């Protein structure tokens, strides 16, 4: 985690608190600069999140719009390390 914020004030149909983070993902070959991405934090104790916390990416449904689910990556502390 490079940076994060916990959003408290969102439209009524969005669950709060909504933690989001900027995360650096290493290149698949281990070479070059990491890719910096923005995404939701999930399944993680918010009191334990800090800059430098290691997270893993999980492909999850964000919400459903009609018959089509909207999927994206969410980030969480690796299982077994429940921080």
Condensed to tens digits (0 to 9), the pLDDT of residues 39-71 reads 888 888 888 889 999 999 888 887 777 788 888
Quote the pLDDT of residue 33: 93
Nearest to 38 by CA among 21, 58, 59: 21
Output phi, psi for 69, to 5 deg. -75, 145
Condensed to tens digits (0 to 9), the pLDDT of residues 12-32 reads 877 778 888 999 988 989 899
| pTM, to two decimals | 0.71
Cis peptide before 47 (omega within 30 of 0): no
Please give the Cα distance from 20 to 35 (Å, whole number).
16
């Amino acid at each position: 985690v490079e940076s994060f914020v916990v959003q408290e004030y969102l439209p009524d149909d969005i669950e709060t608190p909504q933690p989001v983070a900027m995360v650096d993902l290493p290149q698949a070959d281990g070479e070059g600069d990491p890719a910096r991405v923005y995404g939701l934090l999930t399944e993680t104790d918010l009191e334990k999140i800090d800059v430098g916390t290691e997270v893993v990416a999980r492909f999850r449904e964000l919400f459903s719009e009609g018959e089509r689910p909207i999927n994206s990556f969410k980030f969480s502390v690796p299982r077994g390390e429940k921080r």
